[in-house]
Amino acid sequence: MNQQVFTRRVYIAGGLVALIAFVFVFRLGDLHFSPRIQISPQDDRPVRRGLIRDRMGDILALSIERESLFANPMEVARPVETAAALADLIDLPRDVLVERLSRPKRFVWIKRRLDDETAAKVRKLSLKGLHLRKEYQRVYPNGPLASNITGFVGIDNRGLEGMEYKFDDILTGKRERPFDRDEADVIRASSITLTIDRVIQYQAERELEWGVRRADGRQGAAVVMEVKTGRILALAKYPPFDPNNYSAYTDENRKNFSIVDSFEPGSTLKVIAMAALLEFAPSAQNELYSCDGKIDIADATIKCTGEHGKLNLDGIIKNSCNVGIIQAMKHVSKDQYHQMLARMGFGKPTGSDFPGETEGILYPSADWSGLSKYSMSIGQEISVSSLQLTAAFAAIANRGVYVVPSIIEKIERENGTVSQNFFARTKGPVLSEEVAARLLKMMRGVVDGGTGAKGALAAYEVAGKTGTSQKSMKRGGYYSDRYTVVFAGIVPYQDPELCITVVIDEPVNYASGGEGAAPVFTRIASRALPLLGVKSKQLQAEEPLASRPSQKQPDGKRVPDFRGMLLSESLRTLAQLQLIVPVSYTLTGTGRVYKQSPEPGSALKPNQAITLQLNDR
């Protein structure tokens, strides 16, 4: 190649680069000055977070307007005198205020979200360099009620836990905020409505507290789920925390035990093992199994709760027989059992909208030992959450169709229009109708004279399963004196509406699912079913309360007039009253209230005991 050709090519290449650079710069300038492209400035308006409501429209979280105090230290000529005038008024030490007012900055927060009276006094001082700015404070009017669901927000008004965190972009208006700035001086965000029923949530929390205290347990959880829709009506956790003062509680106390933690479910997993038997080895129904109190399997000895003698499959479930289920599981391969466990939703999150939901522990069948299949049939070597267990049992109650648990009902814009509805989602059939019906019948026997007899209700037939498991140690093995007790119940048996799971962790007393958890199920179900208008042979509940005229709200000062109220109306009024003042109550009979003590209108004292007598006349 000669020098002339080389030079020409260099000039051509340079010209092309220059041309491309010119086009690029021209286009960049065109875009920069184009009226079609608008980049809005940072929106520093205060955000009024949207409401969080329960399914009946009752408010669980709202924002109230407050004024926050800040300073421009460059405008404060005498920091010491200003601090002296301000310290007692806003309850901050003088030295802290002097330090903040002396900083070489133009903006320093002094104290945020003052109450109205304090803000008025600060304004009256007219101190140079001090300014007030409107902000919003998140308030939870029901205190600890449903705190493990709603979560809470931080000082910057951003969601940190629960629904506040999960739907922060909706509750702050980020998702729907327009590019063109409107004229309003406040960003009004969308609200969310949950599937939670505030009254049922209250009853679940109240009865769970009773159960954990009675058993002297470490903590507890209760899930109330609609069988046909997957809606979570209550998700109780004890001990609770108050989101209005969340920083006063530890991370462990604020953790959502129902969702984040998993546990070995004990004998409740016998129902899933039985599902595998009925599907993959139906001939197992024709055999009898012999229990003499223990069984040797894969170099291990597994004990039973007693010597049950000869049992069929129904008897194994009714008596929660370890020996019987282990003998029966020899008919099923480990791959078949793993397939059934995975199909029932174990080993992965349920798909609900709860943040931080655990997937539990379900190892691949290739990693199982010779003992694993039998251990898992009695609820060991596997870990589940209370939500996973509830969804699996609800699938059995729903004729074998798995419905994904849901917590959110809808999203509403600030003007009240619905921007998004949430509907039931299913994974389709996970069991045949025949197998589901057979399992439900077995579980009915558990409550009718079996290990779950204390889960029975006078007015409704119940199907359920108890579970008791030793807690595992991190280094391997099991504690000899630490247990988790469980009861998963389905009600009514003939036409299931609710699946309720109760878990009590480390009970000292009543350390079995039948003794510790089943009575809590009974107390929750007996309150929830009438509130929902679920009918029974013994007690014909009226139509749901939402369709009736609302009763006069109790004021917390006088005893309400319960006379003539239905059981469901009485329970709702009592629940409303307990949100105002602590009271206890006793209900006897069915029908309408005909007598009460104390008399209507009498002065109401804290911890007052209210007795209501009902009859059907």
Q: Is there a cis peptide before residue 243, judged by omega within 30 degrees of 0?
A: no
Nearest to 284 by CA among 304, 307, 312, 310: 312
CA 10 to chain centre: 70
Long-range contacts of residues 156-159, Cβ cutoff 8 Å, at least 24 apart: 157/47, 157/49
Residue found by looking up tokens 């609900």 in the block: 352
pLDDT at 539: 42
Residue found by looking up tokens 């802290």 in the block: 96
End-to-end Cα, the chain, rounded Å: 115
pLDDT at 90: 85
pLDDT at 562: 85
The letter for the amino acid at 72 is N
Q: How far apart are CA 503 and CA 467, in angstroms?
A: 9
pLDDT tens digit sequence for 304-321 = 988 889 999 999 999 999
pLDDT at 113: 82
Q: Is there a cis peptide before residue 507, judged by omega within 30 degrees of 0?
A: no
Q: What is the DSSP letter of 189?
A: -
pLDDT at 547: 42
Strands 52-53 and 191-194: parallel
Ranges of the chain with pLDDT below 70 = 1-11, 14, 23, 26, 28-44, 175-184, 536-552, 589-590, 616-617
pLDDT at 38: 46
Where do runs of H (alpha helix) occur along 305-432? 313-319, 322-328, 334-343, 372-377, 386-397
Where do runs of H (alpha helix) occur along 34-69? none
pLDDT at 181: 47
Q: How far apart are CA 463 and CA 446, in angstroms?
A: 7
Q: How far apart are CA 467 and CA 449, in angstroms?
A: 16
Residue found by looking up tokens 């286009």 in the block: 27
